[in-house]
Structure 1
């Protein structure tokens, strides 16, 4: 799934990092309206609801990678992912409440709008719900959801301040994709390549996010830019295509028995290429700017772009597995997430 980090590391659930409040996203909370509305908004900020739109694509891409179509078990996997993601969000703010009191005093916990005990209780309840939903989807799904939940808690409670933080985030995203495959088909082997690609993207974004509050060296955004370029090449190549990307003639074509004529590109191939281009375009410019000037505002924009790019990457992974309808469904989540992000910050 994708987190948000600061210098020391900080996630939003288990996705990659998110942009800072001052450079990207809505303005800090202001008190207008009824007390009940304040409370709802505070929880929406704590759980970073707009970021939820990056979660369903994990399970859907995993299902497509396993060669299956979404079923009711896939829906259970998505629901489990959403719960575990939100558990990570709440636990993150609980673990970082002292740091937030200095760096982001407007956040729900340091501002007093939500009590720390309530956030911790929510994290525990959401984790339990996520595991219960995975169990309903079957033992294979629970076998993936359990280490996913453990990774989320380990990250929030300690790993994010260590060099292992980005790797833990990447692992969490990979496991979330495998959760969809395990729930739908009972197996994960076919989905491992897609999980590795998505996890690598998350690792790169999380590495950049570790310097979003104070800025830092040029290398992390440059490495993320290079990683995006490599992932775009890999993800737009059909599984089984030679590593050099060239098509090789069949034996009959080479012997002259029939001309070497290649069929026109399939719609799925065109869709994969188009979505891969969207993925690359979403991150290329912000990463390049952050490389030239790794200041907090530009780094935060780069991190935000990395988060947004998660959806087109998921869609590309689904399309390359011949899940055209699934890819289009994932793509439809992007404008919804952008719309809600205008009302509630994802950071």
Structure 2
């Protein structure tokens, strides 16, 4: 059982749930939620619902494989800074971790391809961006956050690709998770050593831009902009208090909590977008993933 847990730790289960939220939000944006609710067939027999399941499986593989490769490439560094992690602690060999990561990425691309060639292509790009970040991007001060943000943007668009024609209309929505995840990545730079005040303040400013973008989106795209207010309040409550504490203290522990809050809050971000396009009901369906992720975050490390 401990061996299984070690392999699961490599995939960051709590984070995978946030990736599932990307897919569900993109699916809602494209109109998938409305199609499912209007479909009179048994839910599991609905082709649209089956596509949602394949894309959900795809993102599990893509995210799990991507973060596992991160530990593979960081094995030597983790041996010094985080020796408790699965690879440096000897609970998982570096070779086995690499094979698992590779197979998860393959699973992600294959599952997306079963929905359609465009979905398969997007999954392949996301997989490539993830490995690029793990190997090279995370060491770049400017390109790194953008690289990671592009992974999330691609993941959201992977959900939209359940209806490929909608990508032309809603591709720009990928900018929202791109900026948000880029902000989290900037903030995380001080997670080990602290003292990254400029990055923390930059992250705060980017968070504010995300809030404004969501309000703007609700006003111009939403049928009832008031529906998003509870989601936005919850979103702000999750991301700002720990970040403000991190800015004041600049110590690794507080920065780590700010990063964890940002990662988990991706679910609320996605729920907000889903509520804009599919109504508060589907926003709540996405939000159901939040307690699941929080529970897993108590069992497995988020960062």
Alignment of 1:135-174 (within 5 A): 135-163=113-141, 164-174=143-153
Partner of 1:293: 249
Aligned with residue 271 of structure 1, among 222, 227, 244: 227
List per-residue Cα deviations over 1:255-298 (Å, max 9, x = no partner).
Answer: xxxxxxxxxx97x5333111011111111111111112211111
Structure 1, gaps ≥5 residues long = 1-36, 243-264
Cα 1:225/1:39, change in 2 over 3 Å: same
Structure 2, gaps ≥5 residues long = 37-47
The reply to whether residue 214 of structure 1 matches residue 228 of structure 2 is no
Aligned with residue 73 of structure 1, among 51, 54, 57: 51
List per-residue Cα deviations over 1:285-329 (Å, max 9, x = no partner).
Answer: 111111122111111111111112111101001111134332111
Which moved further from structure 2: 214-223 or 202-211?
214-223
For normalisation by structure 1, the TM-score amounts to: 0.79
Name the count of aligned residue pairs. Answer: 288
Partner of 2:40: none
Alignment check: 8 A CA contact 1:60 1:326 kept: no
Q: Secondary structure at the match of 2:205?
A: helix
List per-residue Cα deviations over 1:112-151 (Å, max 9, x = no partner).
Answer: 1001100000111111111111110101101211111110
Alignment check: 8 A CA contact 2:227 2:279 kept: no
Partner of 2:163: 184
| Whole-Å separation in 1 of the counterparts to 2:252 and 2:243 | 13
Question: Counting helix residues as a fraction of each chain, which structure ranks higher?
Answer: 2
Q: Secondary structure at the match of 1:210?
A: helix
Alignment check: 8 A CA contact 1:73 1:184 kept: no
Partner of 1:53: 17
| Whole-Å separation in 2 of the counterparts to 1:161 and 1:193 | 27
Q: Quick check: which has more Rg, 1 or 2?
A: 1
Higher relative contact order (CA 8 A, sep 6+): 1
Q: Secondary structure at the match of 2:220?
A: coil
Q: Secondary structure at the match of 2:162?
A: helix
